[in-house]
């Protein structure tokens, strides 16, 4: 039976760098949410494991073990002692190396789809350990719901209910290496700032987020100045409550209350920057 699973964009509404471990990994405090736009992973029974990639963002993506989706499938098969295979198709919409969890959310979607196809039910601890072994963003993407991320991303905690809101995502189509952004970061570490108040509406959420930030923004701008342009263009759109970079960039987000304002902003930005990847999408609760 064919199984299909959405792989929504993962968006960091704030991201504080709170420290650094002895092994070089940075410690984070972040509010991760998901947007109503993303890739799609489809799986069906097959004798061996294979991956094909299509869609508007497929160019240049590998279909071998260089793709985290196939590595995730192999890891799950090994952990669950699965003898069969699967034909996996990734339909790619999100830009790569863009700070919205594209590879991680794809791998998480593949794991969820394959769990159903293979009727796998790993204990939650083993499931999360498998995800973390593939990447620090995998646990939150596998959970697929708003969460506070801490540690290197593997410690997840629930957050207060979030209000209806819309996002405009803008990426200048310049890939940004996460290690390069962390290497370029300067300054002190930040204190954690978990969201503990339940936002009344999107405007209240924006006000709460304004007291927080993304500590990687300056580093990303030093590598890709178009990040600053994206933030400024988003902030200038009517109805934009907050503009901020997501993750390690280069995707930036604008937060809106109304769908009409978000879609109008996306249209205006596309006219101003036709070469960029720009989409309006609801914030998924």
Mean per-residue pLDDT over the chain, rounded = 96
Query: Which CATH number is associated with domain 166-284?
Result: 3.30.70.890
Predicted pLDDT of residue 96: 87
Question: Tens digits of per-residue pLDDT, 36-53?
Answer: 999 999 999 999 999 999
Predicted pLDDT of residue 102: 86
Task: Let me know if 137 is exposed, middle or buried by CB neighbors in 10 A (0-12, 13-18, 19+).
Answer: buried
The pLDDT confidence band at residue 255, using thresholds 50, 70 and 90, is very high
Find out if CATH 2.60.40.1120 is the number for domain 3-157: no
Average pLDDT, integer, range 227-254: 98
Task: Let me know if 15 is exposed, middle or buried by CB neighbors in 10 A (0-12, 13-18, 19+).
Answer: buried
Question: Tens digits of per-residue pLDDT, 122-159?
Answer: 999 999 999 999 999 999 999 999 999 999 999 999 99
Q: Is 18 a residue whose pLDDT tops 90?
A: yes
Q: How many helices (H) and strands (E) does the chain have?
A: 9, 10
Using the 8-state DSSP alphabet, how is residue 212 labeled? S
Q: State pTM to two decimals.
A: 0.95
Average pLDDT, integer, range 118-125: 95
Predicted pLDDT of residue 12: 98
Average pLDDT, integer, range 68-94: 97
Predicted pLDDT of residue 273: 98
Average pLDDT, integer, range 17-32: 96
Pair type for strands 3-20 and 49-54: unpaired
The catalytic site residues sit at: 10, 137
Nearest to 169, CA basis, from 250, 275, 261: 250
Question: Tens digits of per-residue pLDDT, 193-232?
Answer: 999 999 999 999 999 999 999 999 999 999 999 999 999 9
Predicted pLDDT of residue 208: 98
Task: For residues 20 and 68, give the distance between their C-alpha atoms in angstroms, rounded to a whole number.
Answer: 25
For the chain, the domains span 3-157, 166-284
- Answer left, alpha or beta for residue 21, where phi above 0 means left and psi between -120 and 50 means alpha: beta
Q: Alpha-carbon dihedral of residues 252, 109, 176, 194, nearest 10 degrees?
A: 50
SS3 88: strand
Nearest to 226, CA basis, from 166, 162, 179, 272: 272
Using the 8-state DSSP alphabet, how is residue 189 labeled? P
Per DSSP (E only), the strands in 55-157 are 85-91, 147-151, 155-157
Q: Is 285 a residue whose pLDDT tops 90?
A: no
HSE on the CB side for 191, CA within 13 Å? 3
φ/ψ of residue 141, rounded to 5? -70, -35
Q: Which long-range contacts (CB under 8 A, 24 or more apart) does 221-230 make?
A: 222/184, 223/176, 223/180, 223/181, 223/184, 224/172, 224/174, 224/176, 224/249, 224/250, 226/172, 226/174, 226/250, 227/172, 227/252, 229/172, 230/170, 230/171, 230/172, 230/276
φ/ψ of residue 224, rounded to 5? -135, 95
């Amino acid at each position: 039976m064919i199984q299909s699973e959405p792989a929504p964009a993962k968006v960091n509404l704030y991201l504080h760098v709170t420290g650094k471990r002895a092994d070089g990994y940075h410690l984070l405090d972040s509010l991760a949410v998901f947007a109503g736009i993303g890739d799609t992973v489809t799986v069906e029974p097959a004798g061996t494991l294979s991956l094909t990639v299509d869609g508007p963002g497929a160019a240049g993506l590998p279909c071998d073990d260089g793709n985290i989706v196939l590595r995730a499938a192999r890891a799950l098969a090994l952990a669950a002692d699965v003898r069969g295979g699967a034909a996996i198709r990734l339909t790619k919409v999100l830009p790569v190396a863009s700070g919205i969890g594209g590879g991680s959310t794809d791998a998480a979607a593949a794991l969820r789809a394959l769990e159903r196809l293979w009727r796998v039910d790993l204990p939650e601890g083993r499931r999360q350990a498998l995800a973390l072994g593939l990447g620090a963003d995998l646990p939150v993407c596998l959970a697929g719901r708003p969460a506070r991320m801490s540690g290197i991303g593997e410690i997840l905690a629930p957050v207060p209910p979030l209000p209806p809101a819309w996002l405009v995502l803008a990426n200048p189509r310049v890939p940004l290496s996460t290690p390069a952004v962390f290497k370029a970061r300067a300054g002190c570490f930040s204190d954690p700032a978990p969201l503990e108040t339940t936002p009344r509406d999107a405007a209240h959420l924006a006000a709460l987020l304004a007291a927080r930030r993304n500590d990687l923004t300056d580093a990303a701008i030093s590598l890709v100045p178009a990040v600053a342009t994206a933030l400024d263009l988003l902030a200038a759109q009517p109805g934009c409550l907050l503009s901020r970079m997501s993750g390690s960039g280069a995707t930036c987000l604008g937060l809106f209350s109304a769908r009409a304002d978000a879609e109008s902003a996306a249209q205006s930005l596309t006219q101003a920057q036709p070469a960029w990847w720009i989409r309006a999408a609801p914030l998924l609760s």
